[in-house]
Structure 1
Amino acid sequence: MKKYFLLVLLLAGSHVMVAQTKKNGVYTPDNGNGTFTNPLMWGDWPDPDIIRVDDYFYFVSTSMHYVPGSPVARSKDLVNWEMLSYAVPRYDEDPRYDMKGGNAYLKGSWANTIRYNNGTFYVGFCTPNTSRTEPGHFSICTAKDPKGPWKRTIFKEYMYDPGLFFDDDGKVYVAHGQERLFITELNADALSVKTPQKEVYNNPAFPYLEGSHMYKVNGKYYMMGSTGGTTGRQICLRSDNIYGPYEAKEVINDDHTYPGNGLHQGGMVQLKNGSWWFIIMQDRGPIGRVPNLEPVTWVDGWPMLGDKGKGVETFKKPDVGKTHPNVVPATSDEFNTAKLGLQWQWNHNPDDQKWSLTERKGYMRLKAGKAAKLSEARNTLTQRVQGPFSAGTVEIDVTGLKDGNVAGFGVFQFPYAFVAVQQKSGQKSIIMVNADSTVTTIPFKGNKLWIKASVTHIGYTASFDYSTDGKNFQKIGNMLNMALGLDWTANRFALFNYSTTADGVSGYADFNWFKLKDSL
């Protein structure tokens, strides 16, 4: 495998440098020499949790409102990861997930937890409710095969930032809460509550302690959680009894290579050789919450993260007894299969009558749905932007557009920006829209357009280019100042086609491919 190394700034004005390895133009942490470089995945994989089952490691992450939800990834060495499945194919408990009667932005899966017991995989998460009278609910998804299918059970109880735990005596618990931490006992199948929650910890010295995951090591119970939010640090609670009392210790307090954003919240796992490792996230602003891999050293019965109290940058890979191929989660897509690639998620439950990978072989066909603007368009197809630099490019055939259609490609969050072909009165125009304001309009008589969106962590901006021949690109519009209007959800590349008129819903756009690579 051919490798490339780039020196990149981690912050505008920062003097911290890191060697970046790439595979097929995409960042990979595996340096090919027995070492890895953090972050593990330079994109938005928040609230990580991990387990080991035999020779495989399994990773789960939060995905908020995106559908399918709760992504599950797999690795053989904790460094090279591939997408495996989603624990939630869609959300059926509220019509707003179908954009009926409102929207479901920021709902969905929060703070995922993954465990394995007696031949079954379990993924749990909470879904906060924006209503003050309805706190939300808790879900457990189960599968015999981590590739799925998964079955979801929704609890009436709400358990914030849950950590599922199977004790060695056969009992099942969930650790949950924020600042005030609770233990709730579940029934043996982990699909209903047996004993109501009991408060086990409440210490103002660690405000907003959350994201707790539970372990039992040498007869003692450990809860690993974070405090301080995005600037946070990782705290470990320890007790001889699951219901406490718990003593606390800070196990890492380091902003690593990204000043002001501490390593916080994640999961711990033991290897076959007895060593322990921890995957912990770090906020990288609008690009997302990226996972870092940290060694664990046990000191006086406490799991201390990192190397001498600091998060590692380049470090020796975990010893799993073998060397495994360099693998990264898929990004680029030729749309030449009948099944949607696992790199893609919709902004809400998709209208399956409005998209197809088979009507035109080798193309993703997006049929227009009625919407006044992009944030109200249901079938917006997205995937993560990548850091520290990335560019996504699409080829789009707009022959099938109808009056009122707006079909294109951009960077989606609040605010968002995009380049699209708009059709009015039978005439097409290329438009650049930023924060719902049309910045540029160019007459267009063709039927095929190439659009590129480029993202950088320096200043968190996105810029846009277009081409009418697929070779010569030119800038269009202005910069998007990427932000987090949808809290804790990173910016994403987005493909879309919506119609501002009812008559235009018969229109369609055909996307030939999406290609992602480093933008330098």
Structure 2
Amino acid sequence: MNKYILFFLLMMVSNVLLAQKRNTAYTPDNGNGTFTNPLMWGDWPDPDVIRVGDDFYLISTSMHYVPGSPIARSKDLVNWEMAGYAVPRYDDDPRYDMKGGNAYLKGSWANTIRYHNGTFYVGFCTPNISRTEPGCFSMCTAKDVKGPWTRTIFKEYMYDPGLFFDDDGKVYVAHGQERLFITELNADGLSVKTPRKEIYNNKEYPYLEGSHLYKINGKYYLMSTTGGKKGREICLRSDDIYGPYESKEVIRDDHTYPGNGLHQGGMVQMKDGSWWFIIMQDRGAIGRVPNLEPVTWVDGWPMLGENGKGVETYKKPDVGKTYPIVVPATSEDFAAAKLGLQWQWNHNPDDQKWSLNERKGYLRLKAGKAAKLSEARNTLTQRVQGPFSSGTVEMDVSGLKDGNIAGFGIFELPYAFVAIQQKDRQQSIIMMNADRTVTSIPFKGKKVWFKSNVTHIGFKASFAYSIDGKKYQPIGDTLNMALGLNWTANRFALFNYSTEDSGIDGHADFNWFRFDLK
């Protein structure tokens, strides 16, 4: 190998490792003017992206997790950090409070984000929460992505919406599944003006979804996907917003993760006039990860990637200057007055049963009654990451009561965890996998440390515990991570619930959570 090529490769690896060590989270920035996909090796599905001045904003689907509709911010399209959420909680159905059932897989789907006349707009659809109820469409508005946000719920249902402000003052939403539609909104974007009109129903691409609409040089471009793991990105083009539309496949590629094609995302224009596309790719139980692709215009069509393929390592977008490497937050010492933006609850939290103030520097989780973890409220989660990641917690268990199960694990269906279980005033360290107790070890003490390691190789998670915070012992068996809750990836989870009435309000105090790439 040429010594100069070898030196370049070694420098790339060194820069990545240094950045990862500094941030203890995956970064795509190689530190030398290039980036390597994916942008964030975690679950940021159905991305949409905009530019507002010198800032870029990316929004993602979050389904049932609260707060919902996460928004990340970047200065260069490569380095991202959390900026806020458009939905602080869901107040439209008691099942979001786990009353009368649950709301798993509901909430926000396929978010769209736009900025118009000083206001941020976030739209999303919520599929029917039960088989007998219709879905709905929501529009959230704010002057700042940090909030406060106001949510308006429409009676109309618009699947996988793409919000669009035309240059003549009209407002539209492109939406649909299989058949695609345009619905015109009133000027404030908060109600329907003209009912939906079908614009595309073609045998060439009989299934399209995930639509986002743009107007470029007088033409309307509708970016959609054929969906699924082998999905492709399709562009529809017309001189009129209602069509007729011609179509072209703009990328079909799975070479970076075979069997999982690049599909669904949003397009953004830089200040220099160039275009880029953020598009997702399924990475199994770790999630649907965003990739950054250059756009090349060929005969008036936006072709993604390079020579028909998604890029792996590529030159960063030119934004006029170099910005420092940043990543979305992960580790937490619970010393602030608010939870970090990396955290989301499994449903609306019961705010009477958690606190950052009752014991300074700790997250206190009080137990609520539940038969098993999937039925428990106040399970606090954040994304696992690839290719390898680990989470560790320190927990004070002196406040537990009989019936309490408090600990740390990987949440999805199935889930697995390591925890302290208290019965008859006696405590045990247990490891549970899919609601089955695999291991139980007597425990005496006030503090315990739990750890979980995750790998994308076979999508496995393993568990360990420590009684001194230094030496960790493996425990139980391996979780084969899966996607029983379709389209939501596995997550690190902190929890405390009680299987007995006597344990209600028993509390666990979490001192810190540490995330590492190993």
Q: TM-score range by the shorter chain?
A: over 0.9
Cross-structure match for 2:192: 193
- Contact 1:21–1:29 (CA under 8 A) maintained in structure 2: no
**Paired AA for residue 426 in structure 2:** Q
1:20: how far off? 9.8
Matched, 1:35 2:18: no
For residues 206 and 78 of structure 2, the distance between their equivalents in structure 1, rounded to whole angstroms, comes to: 32
- Partner of 1:332 in structure 2? 331
How far 1:202 moved relative to its partner? 0.5
In terms of mean alpha carbon deviation, does 323-332 or 198-207 score higher? 198-207
The whole-number CA distance in structure 2 between the counterparts of 1:291 and 1:84 is 17
Structure 2: stretches of 5+ with no match in the other structure = 1-9
Indicate if the aligned counterparts of 1:20 and 1:27 stay in contact, CA closer than 8 A.
no
Using the TM superposition, give the Cα deviation of residue 21 of structure 1 relative to its aligned residue in structure 2, in angstroms: 5.5
- 1:52 aligned partner: 51
> Does residue 235 of structure 1 match 2:234?
yes
Q: Is the 8 A contact 1:164 1:214 kept in 2?
A: yes
Aligned-partner residue type, residue 201 of structure 2: N
Aligned-pair CA distance for 1:506: 2.2
Conserved 8 A contact 1:286-1:484? yes
Deviating above 6 A after TM superposition, structure 1's stretches of 4 or more consecutive aligned residues are: 3-7
Contact 2:23 / 2:327 at 8 angstroms: preserved in 1?
A: no
Does structure 1 residue 171 correspond to structure 2 residue 170? yes
CA distance in 1, matches of 2:455, 2:283: 11
For 2:244, what is the secondary structure of its paired residue? coil
Task: Note the aligned Cα RMSD (angstroms).
Answer: 1.4
Which residue number in structure 1 is paired with residue 447 of structure 2? Answer: 448
Cα separation, 1, equivalents of 2:513 and 2:355: 15
Q: 1:402-443: CA deviations, max 9, x gaps? A: 000000000000000000000000000000000000000000
Listed one character per residue, the Cα deviations across residues 310-339 of structure 1 (whole Å, up to 9, x for unaligned) are: 100000000000101111000000110110
Distance in 1 separating the partners of 2:188 and 2:246: 30
Corresponding residue number in structure 2 for 1:459 = 458
CA drift of 1:518 comes to 1.0
In structure 1, runs of 5+ residues without a counterpart are: 8-17
The equivalent residue for 1:76 is 75
Partner amino acid, structure 2, of 1:454: N
Q: Tell me the residue number matched to 2:308.
A: 309
Question: For the residues of structure 2 that align with 1:270 and 1:78, how far apart are their CA atoms?
Answer: 11
Superposition map of 1:341-420 within 5 A: 341-420=340-419
**What secondary structure is seen at the aligned counterpart in 2 of 1:177?**
strand
User: Residue 131 of structure 1: SS of its match in structure 2?
Assistant: coil
Counterpart residue number, 2:438: 439
- Secondary structure, in 3 states, of the residue corresponding to 2:29? coil
Question: For residues 358 and 465 of structure 1, what CA distance do their matches in structure 2 show?
Answer: 29
Deviation at 1:134, TM superposition (A): 2.3
Who is 1:491 aligned against? 490
Distance 2:298 2:326 in 1: 33
Distance 2:172 2:439 in 1: 56
For the 8 Å contact 2:50–2:268, the answer to whether it is kept is yes
Cα distance in 2 between the residues matched to 1:255 and 1:450? 40
- 1:129–1:136 contact (8 Å) kept in structure 2: yes
Contact 1:256 1:263 in 2 (8 A): no
Asked if 1:149 is matched to 2:154, the reply is: no
Q: Distance in 2 between matches of 1:303 and 1:284?
A: 25
Letter in 2 for 1:511: F
- Please state how far the C-alpha of 1:162 moved relative to its aligned partner: 0.2
Of residues 190-199 and 124-133 in structure 1, the stretch that sits farther from structure 2 once superposed is 124-133
Letter in 2 for 1:401: L
Q: Which moved more, 1:224-233 or 1:97-106?
A: 224-233
How far apart, CA to CA, are the structure 2 residues paired with 1:169 and 1:99? 45
Structure-1-length-normalised TM-score = 0.96
In the aligned structure 2, how far is the partner of 1:306 from the partner of 1:135? 38
Q: Work out whether residues 411 and 418 of structure 1, in 8 Å CA contact, stay in contact via their aligned partners in 2.
A: yes
CA contact (8 A) 1:4 1:21 kept: no
1: CA distance between counterparts of 2:395 and 2:244? 60
Structure-2 residue corresponding to 1:13: none
Contact 1:5 1:21 in 2 (8 A): no
Compute the displacement of 1:256 (Å).
3.1
Whole-Å Cα distance in 1 between the matches of residues 390 and 357 of structure 2?
27
Using the TM superposition, give the Cα deviation of residue 203 of structure 1 relative to its aligned residue in structure 2, in angstroms: 1.3
In structure 2, the partner of 1:12 is none
Instruction: Specify the alignment match of 1:62 in structure 2.
Output: 61
8 Å contact kept, 2:12–2:30:
no
Q: Are residue 277 (structure 1) and residue 282 (structure 2) matched?
A: no
SS in 1 for 2:229: helix
Structure 1 residue 25: Cα displacement: 2.2
Aligned letter for 1:218? N
Offset at residue 4 of structure 1 (A): 9.5
What is the alpha-carbon distance in structure 1 between the residues aligned to residue 204 and residue 409 of structure 2?
44
Report if aligned partners of 1:392, 1:517 keep a CA contact under 8 Å in 2: yes
Q: Distance in 2 between matches of 1:456 and 1:206?
A: 36
CA distance in 1, matches of 2:287, 2:13: 21
Q: Secondary structure at the match of 1:410?
A: strand
Q: Deviations over 1:438-475 (max 9, x none)?
A: 00000001111100010000000100011000000010
Q: Which residue of 1 aligns with 2:320?
A: 321
Match of residue 220 from structure 2: 221
Distance 1:499 1:311 in 2: 48
For 2:130 and 2:407, locate their aligned partners in 1 and report how far apart those are by CA, in whole Å: 34
Q: Distance in 1 between matches of 2:468 and 2:247?
A: 62
Matched, 1:202 2:211: no
Deviation at 1:19, TM superposition (A): 8.7
